[in-house]
Structures are given as C-alpha cells and as structure tokens.
Structure 1
Amino acid sequence: MSDAPLFAIAVAAELAGMHPQTLRQYDRIGLVSPGRTAGKSRRYSVRDVAQLREIARLSAEGVSLEGIRRILELENEALALRRRVRELETALADELLRRPGSRVFAAAEDGGVIPLRTGTRTQRRTEIMIWRPRPEPLDE
C-alpha cells in the first residue's frame, strides 16, 4: 500500500466517508498523521485513507479512540516487524549462498530441508535437488 502523500483533506475525507473536521481531530490526537506540503497543508496517502476507514469501522463497533490508537499502534508495529523479518531472511539467504558448500540442499517428502555437501546426491528418489549456479567471477 502506498505511503506517498496524494490526497488533500477534502478528497481523503470523502474517500474515508468522514467529515474533514474529523480528519483534523484524528491528526491532532495522533490517530492518523498525514504528510504535509511546503505550505503545511495535509496530504493523505492511500495507506492513511485505509487507516481512516479502519478507524471508522472500529469506532462503529464501539471501540474508544484510545483503544483504536492502541490497535493501530500495534498493527503498525507488527507491519514494521514483518518488514524487518523479510529483510533479515533475505540477508540470511544471501549469506548462505555466499558460503561454499552450504548452498546445496534437498526437500524431503514432509517438506523438511536436508542439507547436502557439495557433490553429494540424495539417498531417496522422492527428494528434489535444488541448486543455484555460482556467479561467474568478474574478469579484471
């Protein structure tokens, strides 16, 4: 979902089904913090509008504004943690690929991973070999 500030307050309010004054109040109390232009006008992103809709849904279900603030805070924290996990998984995968002999493995029938030494084959025909060629060294 895009975090780019796109919508003026009137457009964002219409998209969220709210009054512009409600958006100003939510900005003041920190529920949704839109971007600002050089002239200090609010600009809402697609993500902000989705968050405003979620606030409206939770409010309609009887959740207090403080409860909504806490829910949004936890959701944003979970999103940041998921992004960090993906980043670390990518870094780990890259590191494992750089280690000689550590990049060959097989998938077991039950979905488990079986590490193999370079040059060895699996013992069972039900396993699949997955490999990646080493990058060619650059000629200098």
Structure 2
Amino acid sequence: MDENSPIFAIAVAAELAGMHPQTLRQYDRLELVVPTRTAGKSRRYSMRDVNQLREIARLSGEGVSLEGIRRILELENHVTALTTRVRELESALADELLNRPGSRVFAAGSSGGVVPLRHGTRPQRQTSVVLWRPNR
C-alpha cells in the first residue's frame, strides 16, 4: 500500500486520526488537509493525510493556531518535496557516473587553476630544478 493512495473514507480517516468527521470537513475547507475526491465527490484520505491530521491535532494541543499549523504543514510539505527532488538528482548523478566513468577528469594546474584532462592521461609535471641562494 502506497502512503499516498486515497483509500480511507472520511469516517475511517477520522477514527484513525482520533477526530470527529466534522473536524476533517472543516480542515478540508481551510485547506489544511485536502483529500482526494471520488467521481461522486466523496472524500478519500491517504495514510499521509491521516498522519497530517494527527500532526494537526498534536500542534493544536500545543496551542498553535490553525494559521500557524497551515504554515508549518506548508513548509514541511515543501521540505519533503525538496528532499525527494534531491534524491532524484543524486540518483541521476550516480547513474550518470556509472554509465560514463572517467568521462571528465580534472587536475590542478601549476598556478592552482583547474585543468581538464582526457581519460587516461596525467598532468604534466614541472621537472626543472630551482636553486636558491640568499643575496649577500
């Protein structure tokens, strides 16, 4: 079962969240938790929605206003979306590195800059000897 699958009717979701169904309707009107609608317009809640309802109850019990709760949930959802996107990008980068190993190789130049190299080559080293004598 996917966490985002809308499978719970309002009565079941309310029981799982420990709330009255009317409270869930109010939260839907306030857009704190917006369930999926069926073709017949009845609400269907996912496990993620139920977890958000529990979080709302916890925050409300701590004295946070509904507007504050809305903002907290908005920020948490944004963090979740960004985390998911970072994981996607990391996976794409890992796949790219596995599919094209060594396609980009860099070294530090003598002046400290970045020098691109072809795969399998080494940077040229300075082989000259420098003697230092103090001035008298």
Could you tell me which residue of structure 1 aligns to residue 126 of structure 2? Answer: none
Match of 1:82, as an amino acid?
A: T
- Divergent runs of 4+, >4 A: none
Superposed, 1:6-25 pairs within 5 Å as 6-25=7-26
Identity of aligned residues (%): 80
Q: Where does structure 1 lack aligned partners over 5 or more consecutive residues? A: 104-116, 119-140
Could you tell me which residue of structure 1 aligns to residue 46 of structure 2? Answer: 45
Shift of 1:102: 5.5
**SS, match of residue 66 in structure 1:** helix
Larger radius of gyration: 2
User: How many residues were matched structurally?
Assistant: 105
Could you tell me which residue of structure 2 aligns to residue 32 of structure 1? Answer: 33
**SS, match of residue 5 in structure 1:** coil
Q: TM-score with structure 1 length normalisation?
A: 0.71
Shift of 1:79: 0.3
Could you tell me which residue of structure 2 aligns to residue 91 of structure 1? Answer: 92
Partners of 2:4 and 2:99 in 1: CA distance: 34
Shift of 1:40: 0.3
Question: Alpha carbons of 1:45 and 1:100: their partners in 2 closer, same or farther (altered >3 Å)?
Answer: closer
Q: TM-score with structure 2 length normalisation?
A: 0.73
Partners of 1:96 and 1:88 in 2: CA distance: 12
- 1:33-91 Cα offsets, whole Å, 9 max, x none, are 00111100000000000000000000000000000000000000000000000000011
Shift of 1:96: 1.3
Q: Where does structure 2 lack aligned partners over 5 or more consecutive residues? A: 105-118, 121-136
